[in-house]
Amino acid sequence: MVRRIYNENQSLKEMVIINPKLCNQLTIQVEIEQRDEGPIPHVHVYHDKTRNPEECSYIRLDKCAYSEHHKDNKPLPKKLKKQFIELMDNICRGQVIYDNNDNPHPATGYQTAVRIWSETFENDDLSKFELDETGLIKQMDYSNL
């Protein structure tokens, strides 16, 4: 789900909400901002629906770690970490990824986030991410975050 936000002091911002149906059921909101975000693949994990940047965690997509390039990065509290893992591990309704033979597969929140990051910032290059033998994006294990 692409969302456009206007702010009086800033230009147009576009972002994609990852697994929006599940976000509506949880406390957190996971987004990829589609503006100059630098070379580190990551998602913005807002601790609530207010999108308060002071209550946000920035989590990498290429490894199980917090992103260092955003200042004031807050670690996820235990309850929110559990929600984040649930959101990233569950299938996103209507989202697919393709294997090397162009066969479609339902995509998880994580796979959807990687695909969107790759399409937005990497010209569809998935070389920063781990793929399985069929070319599908391997699911990240965020349990040790």
pLDDT tens digits along 55-95? 999 999 999 999 988 778 889 999 999 999 999 999 999 99
Residue 77 main-chain phi, psi, to 5 deg: -60, 155
105 lies in a domain? yes
- pTM, entire model: 0.89
139 burial via Cβ count (<10 Å: 0-12, 13-18, 19+)? middle
Residue 134: inside a domain, yes or no? Answer: no
- How confident is the model over 12-21, as a mean pLDDT? 80
Domain count, the chain: 1
Which residues neighbour 127 within 8 Å (Cβ) at sequence distance 6 or greater? Answer: none
Tell me whether residue 91 is in a domain: yes
Query: How much of the chain exceeds pLDDT 90, in percent?
Result: 71
Q: Give residue 43's domain range.
A: 2-121
